[in-house]
Structure 1
């Protein structure tokens, strides 16, 4: 899976917004500084997030941004789809329309399994989970399994 810088920045900005008290507005510059995101890039990201109604904004001297819904209701997948589109695709072709036949026909199921595993992590992990450091059990287990395998290989 490849994630764009824009999607990664968007997720970081949204998690940062999830840490502020309800009703508190955060200025773009403060959000950019808190997460080390280029401010002008963040303006474009926040515009996309606002269009998808993931953040709300208020103009003026006391203006800024806040989550448009509770952090527990916004998944990492929601943010990624807003910025980058579908979570997993093969050459932007629907899985059922891939031109596989013969020995490659089963690849469609491989891609379906990949999409399902990504969904189980990204759709079931919310901004609130990340902000609190309390990830869903299956996500923590997968991360632990990955770390153990990396250490086995000597990459950890």
Structure 2
């Protein structure tokens, strides 16, 4: 699995809005500068997030962006799906739409299991968890395992 720059930037932008929640709307320029995201690229991402109901925008001098949903109910998976589509795909297709024959038949349950595990993590972590530096125990344990940091 590969996390695209678009998905990474989207999660970082949403996180920035979460830590600034309750204040004035945040300008795209501010998010771009603080998170070191190319401004033009971020504008497109914010548009997708707005259309997906993740953020809302306000125009004008006091305008900018804010979360449209409670950060505690917004998962990392929600953000990624909004900007990139399905979390795990094989050749651009959802694993559940694939069929294999012969010696390749065992691949389908492998891809389904991979998708289930990725979803379990990304759907189990909210933006509020990250903003509060309180990742779920399962995530902390996986990240604490030295083998997780080794590049094979």
Does TM, normalized by the shorter one, top 0.5? yes
Once the two structures are TM-superposed, the CA of residue 23 in structure 1 deviates from its matched residue by 4.8
Indicate the RMSD between aligned Cα atoms, in angstroms: 1.5
Q: How does 1:113-128 map to 2 (within 5 A)?
A: 113-128=113-128
Counterpart CA distance in 2 for 1:103 and 1:10 is: 39
Counterpart CA distance in 2 for 1:4 and 1:21 is: 26
| Residue 126 to residue 90, structure 1, CA distance change in 2 (3 Å) | same
Counterpart CA distance in 2 for 1:31 and 1:37 is: 8
Q: Runs (4+) of structure 1 moved beyond 4 Å?
A: none
**Equivalent residue, structure 2, for 1:25:** 25
Q: How does 1:139-150 map to 2 (within 5 A)?
A: 139-145=139-145, 148-149=146-147
Q: How does 1:95-134 map to 2 (within 5 A)?
A: 95-134=95-134
Once the two structures are TM-superposed, the CA of residue 21 in structure 1 deviates from its matched residue by 3.1
Q: What secondary structure, in the 3-state scheme, does the structure 2 residue paired with 1:88 have?
A: coil
Q: What secondary structure, in the 3-state scheme, does the structure 1 residue paired with 2:56 have?
A: strand
Deviation digits for residues 88-137 of structure 1, max 9, x if unmatched?
A: 01112342442312222111111111001101110110111111111011
Deviation digits for residues 50-109 of structure 1, max 9, x if unmatched?
A: 000100011000001000011111100011001110000111234244231222211111
Where do 5+ consecutive residues of structure 2 fail to align? none
Q: What secondary structure, in the 3-state scheme, does the structure 2 residue paired with 1:66 have?
A: strand
Once the two structures are TM-superposed, the CA of residue 22 in structure 1 deviates from its matched residue by 2.0
Counterpart CA distance in 1 for 2:118 and 2:77 is: 9
**Which one is further off, 22-31 or 114-123?**
22-31
| Residue 112 to residue 150, structure 1, CA distance change in 2 (3 Å) | closer
Once the two structures are TM-superposed, the CA of residue 150 in structure 1 deviates from its matched residue by 5.2
Where do 5+ consecutive residues of structure 1 fail to align? none
Q: How many residues align?
A: 151
| Residue 114 to residue 31, structure 1, CA distance change in 2 (3 Å) | same
